[in-house]
Chain A
Amino acid sequence: GGIITQTPKFLIGQEGQKLTLKCQQNFNHDTMYWYRQDSGKGLRLIYYSITENDLQKGDLSEGYDASREKKSSFSLTVTSAQKNEMAVFLCASSHWGGAAEQFFGPGTRLTVL
């Protein structure tokens, strides 16, 4: 078994602020993902990484940067927070390859004032 840890659990920012979310996994998985969860819109892929120092853009990458510093960690940066934005950001990991089950972290809830 393993676990995915996301920090912080809650993040409150100001408009225009640069905000960083962190994710750690101890599954020893190759691939890690960042999703944004909005009510009624499902889980939308922001960035993913198949190995250390690799980055791939997802469907919603504009306005975000990511960094895969090592195999176990994957960070997401909101480059300029949008006023009144509220969303949950979910980190996930899986073994490499199709049909691999993704395991999710508990999420970071972002509120921008």
Chain B
Amino acid sequence: GDSVTQTEGLVTVTEGLPVKLNCTYQTTYLTIAFFWYVQYLNEAPQVLLKSSTDNKRTEHQGFHATLHKSSSSFHLQKSSAQLSDSALYYCALSDGGSALGRLHFGAGTQLIVIP
């Protein structure tokens, strides 16, 4: 079956410095799309980025990610972290094995940005 791995449960970074959240995956199906969801404290998860094209950079709100099928990765990066980026981040993939394209989520990475 499908699985998504986020290696860091907690990432702490100083404001203004770059940040990278790792996401790798395994799938036996033709994948359809990859997502990064962000969940701010006491709020619902919401989509931050979405990609379905290999080797194409996707950007939103200062964050960017590139799907690399050769390395089965979809890492999330930002060049300069802001205090407001502190949140829980989930990587997810939508596989083609199910007609619904159900999402498989990683365990999540808590990002804390400190002054």
Contact = CB atoms under 8 A, between A and B. Distances in A.
Interface of A: 4, 31, 33, 40-45, 48, 50, 56, 58, 90, 96-107
Interface of B: 4, 9, 32-33, 35, 42-47, 50, 52, 90, 92, 94-96, 98-103, 105-108
B45 to A, nearest CB: 5
* B33, B52, B94, B96: residue with the most chain A Cβ atoms closer than 10 Å: B94
A107 B50 CA distance: 23
Contact of A99 (B45, B46, B101): B101
B32 A99 contact: yes
Contacts of B107: 40-42
A96 B45 CA distance: 19
Nearest to A96: B100
Closest CB pairs A-B (n = 6) = A98-B101, A99-B33, A98-B32, A104-B44, A42-B105, A43-B105
Contacts of B108: 40, 42-43
Contacts of B101: 97-100
B34 to A, nearest CB: 9
A9 to B, nearest CB: 10
A99 B52 contact: yes
A105 B99 CA distance: 23
A98 B100 contact: yes
Contacts of B96: 98
Contacts of A99: 32-33, 50, 52, 94, 101
B100 A50 contact: yes
A107 B88 CA distance: 15
B105 A98 contact: no
Contacts of B99: 97-98
8 contacts: A4-B44, A42-B107, A43-B108, A45-B103, A90-B45, A98-B101, A104-B44, A104-B45
